[in-house]
Structure 1
């Protein structure tokens, strides 16, 4: 069980100052209602959003790329998406009204998940093997950078396009030796299908030279400019939800289970704890708080993207992320 000392953020929202009227806002996730999404649901159920005058409707997504066009077109004012994919989208769509405002996965969950019995224990083992990769997957989008960082002979790898529903079953059945995916998703889903955890290999791309950031909360810039207090209130509520999730993962996952009675709560608690441990509550976050980025690392990440992606214009960090909407009242700090 993951536990951290939380100095603030667990006060019952019912004691917060009353608000005049609730603003309804739609928030689109990158994926299904799983453990790592618990902070948003507990923020809603514990009243953290309500304390900010918000009623938040959370909807599932279909992959790390899915939320970007939804937010850019204004279909959703706020979403959750892969940072590197956001950078490429903005480069390919100059002036698109979308930007990152709160980094959630300081260490990205992008991973290669394989099986030792199928010969996968380190990056070089992918050579000569079949790799399953869903085309819209955020981890697959970063695979060229990972391959460049590790010196992989990409031509020797057979890439099999797979769908999200068939990715882990194909790995469990041995139809592919490894898959791209989020570490906490592909690992646990494969184990759930009966594969021995001891047979699993998780190669977290961030452990192999990647400076890339992971998933980030994004906003429609036009909506945000017109409603800055809504965005800041939403982000403060998310921070409180993260703290609640750290303090009591079971209760946080119960907020998801309330929307999905068929949820395997034990599995999703484990998934949430992995995400908190490996992706969200990093040393940098413990020192600096939730949500912001390190400017030098961000520039380095842009350089890494440019290793395999040709920017149409000179990359400008200010186009992709702003801290202008982050709360400044100390609510982002975990200790």
Structure 2
């Protein structure tokens, strides 16, 4: 790990040793098997999940998880609900939508990894857009299920942007193709996405175009929003709370390991997707740490937890701007019951 990143990783004293020693013996547990849907195909930011599996942290808890690759973070909560997955990893704002529609059946967040919104609007650095208000009269591209696109109404509300004056076009190609379309057009002015995903896509193949981009980051312009969280089904929540705590403990150990040794995390990704661009995946992971998991709240409450007042404001904002039929209660969206002690969690990845 680079020295600068090491300085940003603040762990409680003895966290590694405590986590390793506390793991219960596999022989004492009967293996419990679960299905889990991911946010996307295998990629750098999932390294903590994959290390928990590869290093036996899940097995030591008596847990076996079958990972199913996802089609985007905003699709994870509805897919988890529709396909009866036990666990899921995806966007918490989408979870708010599902909970508003299906209050008795929606999954619940239990381990919030992205304590800052990962979303952005990528812009041509040579273009005229400098502030959110400059988006009026412009055209933006994005996948129909992109988190940034889906939470753009909240972005507009907070920043006084008239959304009716912004043209949004959906795009079916990959992230790099979207950005290259914008850079080569006078009629397309921005692209929705994650900061980390765009950075990775623009670095693939050795031709890095990130220096041609500027960003309107949601973490700066809509600071109350969170990003991806681990979720559990209502069925497992009702029937197997002990197993939930075991899963969270194992993934927390995976996160500690992934932050301490990011190269090992990328090794875990490449074992499953050897066709991925390794340097691009490392950049994606590093950007995730530096932006999407770097909210100042991490120093106070640790990675995995949420600030109740902030989350309550986020729920109210998404409910209003996405015109949901009801506003879910805080405990419908996130339960802190299964978090390991603060001393065993990553405290902050912020500078």
TM-score (norm 2): 0.87
Equivalent residue, structure 2, for 1:183? 195
**C-alpha displacement of 1:35:** 0.8
- Between 1:209-218 and 1:189-198, the stretch displaced more is 189-198
Q: 1:147-191: per-residue Cα shift (whole Å, max 9, x none)?
A: 12122232332211112x334303213343211111100232134
Equivalent residue, structure 2, for 1:312? 325
Contact in 1 for aligned 2:175/2:201 (Cα 8 Å): no
Query: Is structure 2 residue 182 aligned with structure 1 residue 170?
Result: no
Equivalent residue, structure 2, for 1:61? 70
- Between 1:132-141 and 1:62-71, the stretch displaced more is 62-71
Aligned residues: 334
1:214 and 1:97 map into 2 onto residues whose CA distance is 17
For 1:24, what is the secondary structure of its paired residue?
strand
Matches within 5 A, 1:183-332: 183-192=195-204, 194=207, 196-328=209-341, 330-332=343-345
Equivalent residue, structure 1, for 2:47? 38
Equivalent residue, structure 1, for 2:15? 8
**C-alpha displacement of 1:22:** 2.4
Query: Gapped runs of 5+ residues in structure 2?
Result: none
2:26 and 2:223 map into 1 onto residues whose CA distance is 45
Query: Is structure 2 residue 70 aligned with structure 1 residue 81?
Result: no
Q: 1:281-305: per-residue Cα shift (whole Å, max 9, x none)?
A: 4332232222111111112112322
**C-alpha displacement of 1:225:** 1.8
* CA spacing shift, 1:262–1:167, aligned 2, 3 Å: closer
- Between 1:184-193 and 1:297-306, the stretch displaced more is 184-193
Query: Is structure 2 residue 173 aligned with structure 1 residue 161?
Result: no
Contact in 2 for aligned 1:13/1:46 (Cα 8 Å): no
* CA spacing shift, 1:244–1:61, aligned 2, 3 Å: same
Query: Gapped runs of 5+ residues in structure 1?
Result: none
Q: 1:11-60: per-residue Cα shift (whole Å, max 9, x none)?
A: 76898623343222222111121111111011111111111111222221
* CA spacing shift, 1:281–1:232, aligned 2, 3 Å: farther
Contact in 2 for aligned 1:41/1:255 (Cα 8 Å): yes
Matches within 5 A, 1:19-168: 19=27, 20-73=29-82, 75-163=84-172, 165-168=173-176
* CA spacing shift, 1:195–1:246, aligned 2, 3 Å: closer
**C-alpha displacement of 1:136:** 1.1
1:314 and 1:274 map into 2 onto residues whose CA distance is 32
For 1:324, what is the secondary structure of its paired residue?
helix
2:106 and 2:316 map into 1 onto residues whose CA distance is 23
- Between 1:196-205 and 1:149-158, the stretch displaced more is 149-158
1:233 and 1:74 map into 2 onto residues whose CA distance is 23
1:210 and 1:282 map into 2 onto residues whose CA distance is 9
1:187 and 1:18 map into 2 onto residues whose CA distance is 40
* CA spacing shift, 1:29–1:186, aligned 2, 3 Å: same
2:340 and 2:200 map into 1 onto residues whose CA distance is 34
